[in-house]
Amino acid sequence: MTGFPLHQEDLLSFYPQPSESPLHRPWIRANFATTLNGVIQINGTSSGVSGPPDKEVFKFLREHCDAVLIGASTARKEGYSAPKAPASSIRAPLLVVVSRSLDIPESSKFLDEESPPLIATTELSISKHNSTISRVSHKATVKAFGKESVDFVELLAYLHAKGIRLVLCEGGPTIFSQLLDRDLIDELCLTISPRIGSGEPSGIASIGKTDSIDMSLGSYFEVDNYLFCRYLIRHAQK
């Protein structure tokens, strides 16, 4: 593809639905945009890295998932709202916000009575922040997964039991890195923006493993000098 707007049929071929999910958890597809020098935010948000073709891919991936996974800090900075139901479905993707601290202002856009998000936190945070939970209980479901840190295996098993088969992880890098460290990412959709970004390059992940994580290039295309790559993760042998 070399032109804009993008065609749905082409996007479906480049970003196919997974044929099967890993055992006991959903398929995890991550989506990031980066400049050529590894900057993922300009002036505090990703909008300066993105562009019209990337926004179209972002919208498409949102419309073809069962849940959107995001860290609370990223959700606040980016002004996240609850996802809307696409034209092809009567159900909106579930927004899953990970927050160990439960620092969730009542003014957060993603708190929504019609489409309540799931706020994944810890047992320790729930015991400390009963007042916060009471304030947002009519706009969100707050549930603990793990004692002092969020147990992503437990969270994903819970989502799987709810019938969720494809989770779109939109960051930030901390959440993505934690999922990579636990070998829970299946697919990475990476947009390479045709610019050198200002600010400090942070990259999309920082992993604690001594070994690198191998990937295979599933598909790629270019639109208006934006390069879209879809990588499949080579999972470690259990």
**Is residue 1 in some structural domain?**
no
Q: Is residue 222 part of a domain?
A: no
CA distance 13 to 49: 25
Token duo for residue 10: 């082409």
Q: Is 106 within the bounds of a domain?
A: yes
Q: Give the chain's count of helices (H) and strands (E).
A: 7, 9
Answer whether residue 220 is part of any domain: no
Mean pLDDT check: name the lowest of 35-39, 88-92, 95-99, 180-184.
Answer: 88-92
Question: What is the value of pTM for the model shown?
Answer: 0.92
H or E element, residue 96: strand 94-98
pLDDT score at 231: 97
- Rounded-to-10 torsion of CA 99, 105, 108, 112: 80
Alpha helices in the chain (DSSP H): 8-14, 52-63, 72-77, 123-128, 130-136, 152-161, 173-181
Cα–Cα distances (Å) from 124 to 100, 144, 210, 215, in that order, read 9, 9, 30, 36
Nearest to 168 by CA among 34, 68, 73, 38: 68
CATH number at residue 47: 3.40.430.10
- In angstroms, the CA 154 to CA 152 distance is 5
The reply to whether 148 falls in a domain is yes
DSSP β-ladder status, 166-169 and 141-144:
unpaired
Residue 5 falls inside a structural domain: no
Q: What band does 162 get if pLDDT is binned at 50, 70 and 90?
A: very high
Confidence tier at 14 by pLDDT (50, 70, 90):
very high
- What total of structural domains would you count in the chain? 1
145 lies in a domain? yes
pLDDT per residue as tens digits for the range 171-198: 889 999 999 999 999 999 999 999 998 8
Residue 210 covered by a domain: no
Task: Show the domain range for 97.
Answer: 24-84+92-202
